[in-house]
Amino acid sequence: MSFVDGTIILKSKDEIEKLRKSNIIVAEILEKIESIVRPGITTIDMEKICESELKRRKAKSAFKNYRGYPYNLCVSVNDEVVHGMPSKRILKDGDIVSLDFGALYDGFYGDAAVTVPVGNISNKATKLIETTRTALERAIDVTRTGNRLQDISAAVQSTAEDVGFSVVRAFVGHGIGRNLHESPQVPNFGMPGKGLRLKVGMVLAIEPMVNAGGSDVRIMDDGWTAVTKDGSLSAHFEHSVAITSNGPYVLSRL
């Protein structure tokens, strides 16, 4: 049973276990896609695997037809920030590729993202990926009762800015449950100690998007793909995290 706290839908233990199932599906499929990333593969190859893996598990796509988005997977290469669309584009050595994937199973959504290297990448690209991964881990560490929402935001922001990178402000993380996007929004910038109090039963999709250059983004003519305005590289990691009495429970971690 769910109950509403303000506009935020808190989840019971049973509901969190259902969210866990959906998120395990997401994590397993992401792991599979990650394992095939190499120079020469096309991004539509990955989309096809997502589609068949969802079918095999009797799960539905979280993204396909969401606000008209036409694919199961978001795949964003190099300066693409988020919502890149699968295509005949061939990945090449030195690219970085962000894979964002979601599933609906037994009434609940799962959502996660990773950025992975294609072959050998530059030191700067490696640092960007590692910084964004660390930003997510530090954010997860503070996703617990006693803290406030912007402690999560500030953890992401400081991790990125301390090494001279910037956080994207145009997109945010979100609550997740029977809907892909629920309250509250989870920005990647903010002030420690500000925002709503974190409570047991909140489930948040925390998703740092970090640019090697400036924070500004623009949407391409396809109406979906967000790219950095200055052409700099961008990385994206996401986990769906439940707040329990024992601290953060990373639902999308295998």
Q: Which stretch binds ligand MF3 (CB under 6 A): 43-51, 52-60, 63-71, 125-133?
A: 63-71
Of the pair 66, 247, the CB lying nearest ligand MF3 is at 66
Residue 182 engages ligand MF3 in binding (rule: CB under 6 A): no
Does residue 63 interact with ligand MF3 by CB under 6 A? yes
Asked if residue 182 binds Co ion (CB under 5 A), the reply is no
- Site for ligand MF3 (CB under 6 A): how many residues? 11
Residue 83 lies near ligand MF3 (rule: CB under 6 A):
yes
Q: Is 111 a binder of ligand MF3 (CB under 6 A)?
A: yes
Selected from 91, 136, 205, 235, the binder of Co ion by CB under 5 A is 205
**Contact call for residue 10 and Co ion (CB under 5 A):** no
> Binding to Co ion by residue 47, rule CB under 5 A?
no
Binding-site member from 40, 66, 170, 223 for ligand MF3 (CB under 6 A) = 66
Say whether residue 37 binds Co ion (CB under 5 A): no
Shortest Å distance, C-beta 193 to Co ion: 25
95 binding partner (options ligand MF3, Co ion, none; Cβ < 5 to 8 Å by kind): none
Q: Using the rule CB under 5 A, is 111 a contact of Co ion?
A: yes
Pick the closest to residue 108 from 24, 179, 26, 2 (CA basis): 179
Q: From the list ligand MF3, Co ion, none, pick the one residue 74 interacts with, judged by a Cβ distance below 5 to 8 Å according to partner type.
A: ligand MF3
Taken in order 68, 72, 78, 81, the sign of the CA dihedral is: positive
Q: Which residues here bind ligand MF3, judged by CB under 6 A?
A: 63, 66-67, 69, 74, 83, 100, 102, 111, 174, 205
